């Protein structure tokens, strides 16, 4: 790497999955911080499914990625040079560092990270960061579980889903997870301690739901959408709560939702609520220590998959997510 800053710029918008052809790679001198600025070296790039949505022309919850600009990316880095009295050299920081080795920014654009000595650093860009906050707020503020109620979580072995499952359990719910493959389902039941898991790739989801939750579904933590969500909505109870966290099955284009199943929202006087973690950032300082305590006491299990290979590994890491090849939260190490 030397002192050259490798940068990946989006030059074409993908219709389906992103590939190297949608990017231009350049190298320039390491940037120099100005007054009150800091220079950050990116250590990890977090790979959320929604990064694919940022590449579309239509804005998502972020303004659309501009063509020709360095690709946006959620990073964990270290301050290498500082002209700011707020951040010392050597401080770990979370930020929007993008697909590049270094970036320069104001200190108020960064969130300092102070890792607990018994928890790996990368956990602070995943579980003990927005993923954890998303799961916690979706369960506690949108689903609002009561003891003994039934909760079904989709993409249940994913980073948000697996945390949502376990937080649901901690809150006293009966929890069913839906995930792809026996290995992921075993991990959810044996390690994460949920009541049952459905392998949507080899099992009939509707039939298994009838077996596992004959009493009906009180809460859905929805990450996927499409036919799986239809099968869940068909089985909701009166006053069910549906936390619409994401619809990953549609992110590469396509995706169909049945209006018949949506009609269940009316018939069951249910509440479906889309939510974004950015609306809960004011809870960050309160919630992350709770999650950290659960991690330390082994109440919250998680898997972080660190992928080596630098920025070029990002495309493969994104593809892993959309094909369920990821085993936990994915981070690319720069």
Ligand X SMILES: NC(=O)c1ccc[n+]([C@@H]2O[C@H](COP(=O)([O-])OP(=O)(O)OC[C@H]3O[C@@H](n4cnc5c(N)ncnc54)[C@H](OP(=O)(O)O)[C@@H]3O)[C@@H](O)[C@H]2O)c1
Please give the residue ranges that form the binding site for ligand X (CB under 6 A): 48-50, 131, 134, 155, 157-161, 179-181, 184, 223-224, 245-246, 248-249, 275-277, 321-322, 324, 326, 329
Q: Which is nearer to ligand X, 157 or 236 (CB)?
A: 157
163 alpha carbon, distance to own chain's centre: 10
**Least distance (Å) between residue 329 CB and ligand X:** 6
**Least distance (Å) between residue 317 CB and ligand X:** 9
Q: Which is nearer to ligand X, 38 or 243 (CB)?
A: 243
Residues 6 or more apart from 279 whose CB is under 8 A from it? none
Q: Which is nearer to ligand X, 247 or 270 (CB)?
A: 247
* φ, ψ at 317 (rounded to 5°): -65, -40
Residue nearest to ligand X (CB): 246
Q: Which is nearer to ligand X, 102 or 280 (CB)?
A: 280
SS3 54: helix
**Least distance (Å) between residue 19 CB and ligand X:** 17
Q: Which is nearer to ligand X, 50 or 140 (CB)?
A: 50
**Least distance (Å) between residue 48 CB and ligand X:** 5
DSSP codes joined into one string, 294-324: HHHTT-S---EEEE-S-GGGHHHHHHHHHTT
Q: Which is nearer to ligand X, 34 or 323 (CB)?
A: 323
**Least distance (Å) between residue 134 CB and ligand X:** 4
Distance CA 24, CA 7 (A): 8
Q: Which is nearer to ligand X, 9 or 301 (CB)?
A: 301
DSSP codes joined into one string, 230-290: HHHHTTEEEEEEEEE---GGGTTS-----HHHHHHHHHTT-EEEE--GGGGGGGHHHHHHH
**Least distance (Å) between residue 125 CB and ligand X:** 12
**Bridge partners, 24 (sequence order):** 9
* φ, ψ at 112 (rounded to 5°): -65, 145
Distance CA 220, CA 199 (A): 17
Distance CA 235, CA 322 (A): 27
Distance CA 49, CA 93 (A): 22
Give the pair of three-digit tokens for residue 138. 């979706």
**Least distance (Å) between residue 33 CB and ligand X:** 30
């Amino acid at each position: 790497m030397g002192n050259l800053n490798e940068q990946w710029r989006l030059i074409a918008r993908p219709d389906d999955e992103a590939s190297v052809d949608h990017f231009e790679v350049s190298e320039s001198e390491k940037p120099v911080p100005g007054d009150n600025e800091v220079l950050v070296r990116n250590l990890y790039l977090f790979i959320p499914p929604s990064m694919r949505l940022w590449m579309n022309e239509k804005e998502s919850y972020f303004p659309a990625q501009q063509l020709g600009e360095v690709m946006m990316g959620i990073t964990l880095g270290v301050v290498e040079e500082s002209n700011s009295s707020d951040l010392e050299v050597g401080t770990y920081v979370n930020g929007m560092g993008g697909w590049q080795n270094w970036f320069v920014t104001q200190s108020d654009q960064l969130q300092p990270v102070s890792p607990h000595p018994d928890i790996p650093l990368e956990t602070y860009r995943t579980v003990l960061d927005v993923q954890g906050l998303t799961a916690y707020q979706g369960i506690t503020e949108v689903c609002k579980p009561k003891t003994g109620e039934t909760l079904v979580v989709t993409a249940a072995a994913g980073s948000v889903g697996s945390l949502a499952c376990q937080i649901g359990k901690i809150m006293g719910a009966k929890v069913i997870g839906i995930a792809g493959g026996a290995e992921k389902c075993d991990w959810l039941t044996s390690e994460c301690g949920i009541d049952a898991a459905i392998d949507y790739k080899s099992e009939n989801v509707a039939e298994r739901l009838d077996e596992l939750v004959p009493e009906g579904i009180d809460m859905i933590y929805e990450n996927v959408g499409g036919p799986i969500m239809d099968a869940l909505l068909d089985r909701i109870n009166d006053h069910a709560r549906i936390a619409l966290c994401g619809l990953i099955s549609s992110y590469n284009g396509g995706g169909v939702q049945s209006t018949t199943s949506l009609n269940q929202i009316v018939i069951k006087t249910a509440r479906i609520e889309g939510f974004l973690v950015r609306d809960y950032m004011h809870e960050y300082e309160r919630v992350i220590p709770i999650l950290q305590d659960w991690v330390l006491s082994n109440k919250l299990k998680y898997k972080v998959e660190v992928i080596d290979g630098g920025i070029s590994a990002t495309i493969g890491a994104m593809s892993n997510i959309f094909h369920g090849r990821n085993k936990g939260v994915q981070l690319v190490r720069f």
